[in-house]
Amino acid sequence: MARREEILGAALQCFHELGYEGTTVADIKARAKVSTGSLYHHFTSKEQLFAELYLDSIRETQATSLRALRRAKSSEQGVRALVASYLRWVHREPEKAAFLLTMRRAEFMEEVEEELEAMNQELRTTLAEWIDQHVRTGELPLARTDLLMALLVGPSEDFARRWLRGRTTTSLREAAELLGEAAWNALRALAKHSEP
Amino acid sequence: MARREEILGAALQCFHELGYEGTTVADIKARAKVSTGSLYHHFTSKEQLFAELYLDSIRETQATSLRALRRAKSSEQGVRALVASYLRWVHREPEKAAFLLTMRRAEFMEEVEEELEAMNQELRTTLAEWIDQHVRTGELPLARTDLLMALLVGPSEDFARRWLRGRTTTSLREAAELLGEAAWNALRALAKHSEP
Amino acid sequence: MARREEILGAALQCFHELGYEGTTVADIKARAKVSTGSLYHHFTSKEQLFAELYLDSIRETQATSLRALRRAKSSEQGVRALVASYLRWVHREPEKAAFLLTMRRAEFMEEVEEELEAMNQELRTTLAEWIDQHVRTGELPLARTDLLMALLVGPSEDFARRWLRGRTTTSLREAAELLGEAAWNALRALAKHSEP
Amino acid sequence: MARREEILGAALQCFHELGYEGTTVADIKARAKVSTGSLYHHFTSKEQLFAELYLDSIRETQATSLRALRRAKSSEQGVRALVASYLRWVHREPEKAAFLLTMRRAEFMEEVEEELEAMNQELRTTLAEWIDQHVRTGELPLARTDLLMALLVGPSEDFARRWLRGRTTTSLREAAELLGEAAWNALRALAKHSEP
DNA sequence: TATGAATGAGTCTTCATTCAT
DNA sequence: TATGAATGAAGACTCATTCAT
């Protein structure tokens, strides 16, 4: 039990710092202070270890987003909550956040593609429903998902990247507040443009 | 001459698709249809090849940004121009854009760190001067560079990522227009918040 | 007790199918449905397990041959009995037969070399005495043990190999009859050649 | 060129002495005095190296048998020629002979299965035609291929095994003569039994 | 007796780079 | 300039065996 967690933690850091190809099984062993055999007793391969971390991280952020979305009573609340909950998760799990933000999804992940797809599907569906609901009232823009997502997600992710690299002065709390408001304004404005 | 360019092109694609550690010299050789000896005749190492591409790409985006900034007569024009020129560059050089967007800067890059630093310095200085100039008039927010950059750059980069993966329906032209406007509004609003 | 036998049985099959180096302790564990600890409780090493099987199998064939030889009243009966008893044993213990027929005797077997040597010695002595006895009467060839053995043993072993692979149509019983006769004729003819 | 042959030779000996799983790539490297890289420059894997040797050896023996068979003017000549040509090949290529005689055909060989199958097909067809031809005259036994092969091949192979291990006193030439005659007699006798 | 976690030496293979032609 | 053979350090993974419970 403990060993498994130690290995996962070590791997998370290594993958984040050095990338998938860049981290050596030896790196992970060293950081986790585990023998080769022990590592392979708990995980069948470097790939599998990576996949487990990747899925876990994705699962977490998505759960966070979904929870935020479901609680929201209005579209404004929803937008602000998405931004805020994401940045709170970054604060809580900086390593996983950094991991997801830097990691390219490798081809071999196709093995767990199913679960990934299912997870993405759930998020997308919920998001789509939620958007639809507010598009009908004219509060959110019509059929511009790409721009909508860029405005909703882009600034938070960019800020998170800077924060994780220690290149920020503003706190995450404050950023959440201000970026949430900015997102809401941007989406409202976009909605206006999309009117007939 | 031609050989050199072919190799650079092949390497750019490989690095983008497979990452630095993920691409082997053999991959590059195969794509460029070049023999080992020939490749090493033109470039001294895989690292050097990577560094050259990295510097070139950075140089290009930065030049693009600087030009946009220098031409701008007002802060609004400046903001819109930054967004638009970036997306135009992405359109012109999708491979280099994808390369920069996905590539982690490796440690060994420290060898060319000097040049990189110089380039960054120039951009940062110009940007800072430009911001200062407009901060004084109250048009741009005070001392919140992190949020400012997130709002200025985040959406465009996020959109570029989606576009490069073929996940967009909106054209880059239109996106430039709308994201430029959104950025300008966001920054103006941020400036209000920063007032006393 | 039962456990021990299960392990031996599983190991026999594994060694036969995969060879000594080719079978892993994990293979044996899986086939015998036994845990690592349990397996090592019963046997001290993979080598020992192999040696036990090897010795058992050799002991069995040799006992079979010796019995056949001792019962024979004439040289013809002896030759036919050797062939028949060998093929009967193959029928009774196909796995052990296959094991011996495919297995290369590893160097580490030198540890049990003594017992092996003793066993071989007994067989050789008995065989030599028996041959001598019939060489004196001119029924068996003189001083051509190599050819004699080839004619006596070669066809039966070749047929056994084919039978074990399921590549035969003739039954073992019939084969015993016909190959026994063939061996006897061949040896008699060889004896003629060896006459002055 | 030279390098390639050296590696093949070294591998042949290693595989024969230690078995497929038993020989280490390091063993081969050491014997051939070649670096890892060089070995893998010429062969893509240990498997491939093995397969090449296996196919080569099979090709050789089969070619030998086919030539012998085609030249034969009578069934007696054919039988004697098969035995003699096989033993001559053993004399000429003791290493390859030993290799084939001890080597189990691994599962992974399925990759070259096609060529193997084609080769076996040719031999089998030619042999079948040849047998048929002489079965019609009553010189060879009817529909007892398994026994026929055992009597034809068994003694020669057994003798070859002994000769290769240095356990013989009779020369291969003499053995060929006597085993050829024995085979011919055995087959003729078998034919009698098969008569109506 | 049984279990399964832990160990680390050893195996196959990859890959950047050098060198002779 | 071009070619491809040669090199060897380093990487992922396997496996027999030991040990704590």
Longest CA–CA separation in chain C, Å: 66
Q: Do A178 and B147 make contact, defined as CB atoms within 8 angstroms?
A: yes
pLDDT for D121: 85
DSSP D20: T
Domain with CATH 1.10.10.60 in chain B: 1-43
What CA–CA distance (Å, rounded) separates A127 from C161? Answer: 67
Window from B5-14, C122-131, D32-41 with minimum mean pLDDT: C122-131
User: What is the C-alpha separation between C55 and C59, in angstroms, rounded?
Assistant: 6
Tokens at A179, concatenated: 């970026």
Q: Which residue has the tokens 């710092």?
A: A17
> Which letter does DSSP use for residue C73 in this model?
S
The mean per-residue pLDDT over the stretch A180-187 comes to 95
Residue that wins the pLDDT comparison between D139 and D9:
D9
Q: What is the pLDDT of residues B145-163, one digit of tens each?
A: 899 999 999 999 999 999 9
The rounded distance, in Å, linking the Cα atoms of B163 and B90 is 9
- Architecture of the structural domain at D46-194: Orthogonal Bundle (1.10)
The CA distance from C59 to C118, in Å, is 11
Q: How far is the CA of D22 from the C1' of F9 (A)?
A: 25
Q: pLDDT band at residue C170, thresholds of 50, 70 and 90?
A: very high
- pLDDT of the residue at C191: 82
- pLDDT tens digit string along B35-49? 999 999 999 999 999
DSSP notation for D81-135: HHHHHHHHHHHH-HHHHHHHHH----GGGGGGHHHHHHHHHHHHHHHHHHHHHHH
Long-range contacts of A122-129 (CB under 8 A, 24+ apart): A122/A62, A122/A66, A123/A62, A123/A65, A123/A66, A126/A66, A126/A69, A126/A70, A127/A65, A127/A69
Q: Return the higher-pLDDT residue of D105 and A121.
A: A121
Per-residue confidence (pLDDT) for residue B196, from 0 to 100? 52
pLDDT (mean) for D51-65: 93
Looking at chain A, the whole-number percentage of residues with pLDDT higher than 70 is 93
Chain C residues in contact with D100 (beta carbon < 8 A):
none
Q: What is the pLDDT of residue A1?
A: 62
Residue D161 backbone phi and psi in degrees, to 5: -55, -50
For residue A132, pLDDT beyond 70: yes
pLDDT (0 to 100) of residue C92: 95
The 10s digit of each residue's pLDDT in C135-168 is: 888 777 766 889 999 999 999 999 999 999 999 9
Would you state the pLDDT for residue C84? 97
Nearest by CB: B21 against A22, A102, A159: A22
Please name the residues in contact with B23: beta carbons below 8 A apart, sequence gap of 6 or more.
Answer: B11, B14, B15, B17
- Cβ atoms < 10 Å from Cβ of D136: 10
Q: Do C and D touch, counting CB pairs below 8 Å (3 needed)?
A: yes
Residue to mutate among B83, B145, B147, with most A CBs inside 10 A, is: B147
Per DSSP, the residues of A35-90 read: -HHHHHHH-S-HHHHHHHHHHHHHHHHHHHHHHHHHH-SSHHHHHHHHHHHHHHHH
Cα–Cα distance, D160 to D91 (Å, whole number): 9
Q: How far apart are CA A99 and CA A190, in angstroms?
A: 32
Separation between Cα atoms, residue C119 and residue C131, nearest integer Å: 18
CA atoms of D68 and A76, how far apart (whole Å): 92
Across the interface, do D20 and C22 touch by the CB < 8 Å criterion? yes
Asked whether residue B129 carries a pLDDT value surpassing 70, the answer given is yes
Best interface-test mutation with B: which of A24, A86, A147 has the largest number of B CBs within 10 A?
A147
Longest dimension (CA), chain A: 65
- Indicate if the pLDDT at residue B139 is higher than 70: yes
Q: Tell me, in Å, how far CA of D25 is from C1' of F8?
A: 14
Asked if C190's CB is within 8 angstroms of D189's CB, the reply is no
Give nucleotides in strand F with any atom < 7 A to a protein C-beta. Answer: 1-20
**CA B107, CA B89: separation in Å to the nearest integer?**
27
Lowest mean pLDDT among A16-20, C104-108, C116-120, D124-128: C104-108
pLDDT reported for residue C57? 93
Q: How many CB pairs under 8 A join A and B?
A: 111
C193 versus D106: the higher-pLDDT residue is C193
DSSP state of B143: S
CB contact (8 A) between residue C143 and residue D175: no
Specify the residue for token string 């890892």.
Answer: D36
d(CA D25, CA A89): 50
Where does the pLDDT of residue D7 fall: very low under 50, low under 70, confident under 90, or very high at 90 and above? very high
As a whole number of angstroms, the distance between CA A90 and CA A60 comes to: 11
Nearest by CB to D154, which of C154, C181, C185?
C154
Tell me the residues of A at the B interface, defined by beta carbons under 8 Å apart: 19-22, 102, 104, 143-147, 149-151, 153-159, 162-163, 167-170, 175, 178-179, 181-182, 185-186, 189-190, 193
Whether residue C85 contacts residue C97, with contact meaning beta carbons closer than 8 Å, is answered with no
Q: Give the separation between CA A126 and CA A66, rounded to whole angstroms.
A: 8
The per-residue pLDDT of chain A, averaged, comes to 90
Residue nearest to nucleotide E18 (CA to C1'): B37
The CATH code of domain D1-43 reads: 1.10.10.60
Nearest-Cα distance to chain A for B1, in Å, is 32
Whether the pTM exceeds 0.85: the reply is yes
CA distances for B169 relative to B87, B162, B164, angstroms = 15, 10, 12
Min CA distance, B162 vs chain A (Å)?
A: 7
Model confidence at A190, pLDDT cuts 50, 70, 90, reads confident
pLDDT digits (tens, 9 = 90+) for D151-180: 999 999 999 999 999 999 999 999 999 999
User: Exposed, middle or buried, B53 (CB in 10 Å: 0-12/13-18/19+)?
Assistant: buried
C47 touches strand F (CB under 7 A): yes
Contacts of A181 in chain B (CB under 8 A): 189
Output the six-digit token pair for A1: 């039990």
Rounded distance, CA B77 to CA D114, Å? 71
How is residue D195 written in tokens? 């008569």
Location of each CATH 1.10.357.10 domain in chain A: 46-194
| Percent of chain C predicted with pLDDT > 70 | 93
Least confident of B181-185, C88-92, D130-134: D130-134
Judging contacts by C-beta atoms under 8 Å, the chain B residues touching residue A149 are 158, 162
| Residue that has been written with the tokens 């296959």 in this structure | C98
CB contact (8 A) between residue C157 and residue D158: yes
Is pLDDT of A151 > 60?
A: yes
* CB < 8 Å to B46, chain A: none
For residues B71-99, average pLDDT: 94
Q: For residue C124, report the phi and psi dihedrals to the nearest 5 degrees.
A: -60, -45
Residue A89 pLDDT level (bands cut at 50, 70, 90): very high
Residue C93: pLDDT band by 50, 70, 90 thresholds? very high
Q: Which residues of A touch B186 (CB under 8 A)?
A: 155, 182, 185-186
Quick check: C107 pLDDT over 80? no
Average pLDDT, chain B: 90
D42 Cβ within 7 A of any nucleic strand F atom = yes
